[in-house]
Structure 1
Amino acid sequence: MQATFNIESKGQTRAVEVELNHLIVAGWAGRDIAAIEHHIEELAAIGVPRPTSVPLYYRIGANQFTQEPVVQVVGPHSSGEIEALVFEAEGQLCLSIASDHTDRKLEAYSVALSKQVCAKPAAKDAWLYADVEEHIDSLILRSWITENGERKQYQDGPMSTLRTPRDLISGYDGTFAQGTVMTCGTVGAIGGIRPSTVFEMELHDPVLNRSLHHRYEIEILPEVA
């Protein structure tokens, strides 16, 4: 499948078509063991088994990648989480954001399946990785949900708590080249993991004073037997 990214670098933006053949979710990607344990405990609270090793690389069907503003899911049990997204375009590594939207009910049975059944919404805007690599730890991941009609902050944490995208790429037992996209781990949820019909996310760069944004809505399909 193809995706279009608007890549910004040094004040200039150009649209680039990227052929996507492989989608990888890098899970348990924390740099701090205590932070990893916190996220493991968050998920354990809703019945998700502990990982066998960290990080883990989940292969997801490339057709689950989407830049659409609405995604459809079966049942009310799924939720999003912001992650940095890396991919190659025209021979250069680029950085954007995506949501590792996951079915939390299914996650208690199989993490891999819970990720596979949900679309992975991503932003259309991106940056050249080279422009942020020297201050990658300063970037801030944030997200918001709508709860009881109110917009509430759901995540807020620096990328310094996560392995760098370069580290995750080097640890992947496979080829990372043009056609591959990888999400790079998340930060803890404020108030615990829970669903929402609206998910907003932002990657903020305080050094260059700019942000990447994406917002999507979740349409819940009936869960029938």
Structure 2
Amino acid sequence: MNLSFQLAAIGQPVAGDLTVDITNCIVAGWAGRDQAAIEHHIEELAELGVPRPSAVPLYYRIASNQLTQEHSVQVVGDGSSGEVEVFVFSDQGRMYVSLVSDHTDRKLESHSIALSKQLCVKPVGREAWRFDDVADHWDELVLRSWIEESGQTVLYQEGTLAELRHPQDLIQGYFGQDIIPEHSGMTCGTMGAIGGIRHAPSFMMELFDPRLQRSLKHRYTLEILPEVA
């Protein structure tokens, strides 16, 4: 799946464009650093009937054609929801950072976490940063998401990346190396939902760098397809 990104570099609003062909997509689940926070997320999902994971972190292989950069995506029924995550990939030996929503079918999740993730598209942002530009203050970066609820924009998730495992740890755990291989992309975990996991017609996400005062943002809306028996 070809993804195109507008690159931003330190001191420059735009540093060029980058197109990458992602043929291998990995979702890193249960990727928190704090065991208590992981347990909170496990309990949060348990309320929806989702079984406990067999290990943490746990890696799920997702069809690469589920990646999309569209602002409108189609889902079946009204039982799915988004999760903001960092998305890492590489090109010509250099690693980059963007945004992704691990959109998941919550009804199917109680039956199979892997299938619930594979069923839904994964909206990816259209901007990216060089990993090297944020590596020295990675834990300071802030991950946020908002949903539309009763006509209002509501904060849904918020936390620093200090709450999550470092992406190079996750990459090492799956690929056995510090830099993600060419043509591969990985989502790097999320934090719990404020007020509980729930469906919403639109989802906005942000990765904010407080040191360099810049953000990656992406927003998408859902088109609900009918559930046909």
1:86 CA drift (Å): 0.2
Q: For residues 65-120 of structure 1, give each alpha carbon's deviation from its aligned partner in whole angstroms, at most 9, with x where no partner exists.
A: 00000110001000001000000023210000100000000000000000000000
CA distances 1:18-54 after superposition (whole Å, capped 9, x unpaired):
0110011000000010010010011001110000000
Aligned-partner Cα distance in 2 for 1:148–1:16: 38
Q: CA deviation at 1:174?
A: 6.5
Q: Where does 1:35-74 land on structure 2 (aligned, <5 Å)?
A: 35-74=37-76
Q: Tell me by how many angstroms 1:173 deviates.
A: 4.3
RMSD of aligned residue pairs (Cα, Å):
1.0
CA distance in 1, matches of 2:176, 2:44: 29
SS of residue paired to 1:215: strand
In the alignment, what sits opposite 2:6? 6
- Separation of aligned partners in 1, 2:144 and 2:165: 17
**Equivalent residues in 2 for 1:94-105 (5 A)?**
94-105=96-107
Q: Which runs of 5+ in 2 are unaligned?
A: none
Q: Following the alignment from structure 2 to structure 1, what is the Cα–Cα distance between the partners of residues 150 and 228?
A: 26
Query: Unpaired runs of 5+ in structure 1?
Result: none
Alpha-carbon distance between aligned partners in 2 of 1:133 and 1:70, rounded to the nearest angstrom: 32
- Residue 78 of structure 1 corresponds to 80
Q: Write the distance in 1 (CA, Å) between the matches of 2:165 and 2:176.
A: 18
Post-superposition offset of 1:13? 1.6
Report the counterpart of residue 107 of structure 1 in structure 2. Answer: 109
Matches within 5 A, 1:1-225: 1-10=1-10, 11=12, 12-173=14-175, 176-225=180-229
Q: TM-score, normalised by structure 1?
A: 0.98
* 4+ long deviations beyond 4 Å: none
State the TM-score, normalized to the length of structure 2.
0.96
Measure how far apart 1:5 and its partner are. Answer: 1.0
